[in-house]
Amino acid sequence: MFGRVTGGTVVALMALAGAARAQQAAGALPPGVTAQMVREGEALFKGAGLCSACHGQDGKGIPNLGANLADPQWVHSKGSYDGIVKQIIDGVTAAKSTTGVVMPPKGGTTITDAQVKAIAAYVWSLSQPAKK
C-alpha cells in the first residue's frame, strides 16, 4: 500500500510543482534537462564529442569551419533543446551548412544518445541570454 496522503503533503507537492513551473517559465532549463547534464555536455563538447574542433572551445564558431552556437540565431532548427538533439544526431550536409563543411551525424564520433542529450543541453545553454 502507498499510505495516506495528508493535506500537508498535498500542499507541499503543489508548492514543488509551482516552483518547477516558475523555474521553467523563467527560462531556467528545458523540461528533462538538468544542471548536471549541462556540465557533462560542456565536458563532452570540449572533449569526446569533438564539437569544439569546429565550433571552438567557447562555441562561438570557427570561421569557414563551424557555425556560432552561442548566439540566438539558428539555421537548422528553432534552437529548441529537442531541435538541437535532432541536429546533432542527424548532422548537417555540406549543401545545408553555412560554411560548406559537413557536420557528420554525432560529429563523426561514437557518443551515446545520452551524451548527445547532454551536449545538446550545453549547446542550448550557450544560446540563452544571460540572466540578470
pLDDT digits (tens, 9 = 90+) for 44-71: 999 999 999 999 999 999 999 999 999 9
Contact 117, 38 (CB under 8 A): no
Contact 106, 89 (CB under 8 A): yes
pLDDT digits (tens, 9 = 90+) for 64-79: 999 999 999 998 889 9
- How is residue 63 written as a grid cell? 570561421
| 32-126 CATH | 1.10.760.10
CA distances from 39 to 1, 24, 120, 121 (A): 39, 18, 11, 9
pLDDT digits (tens, 9 = 90+) for 89-109: 999 999 999 899 999 999 999
12 SS3 class: helix
Domain positions in the chain are 1-28, 32-126
Nearest to 119 by CA among 94, 80, 90, 84: 84
62 φ/ψ angles, rounded to the nearest 5 degrees:
-125, 125
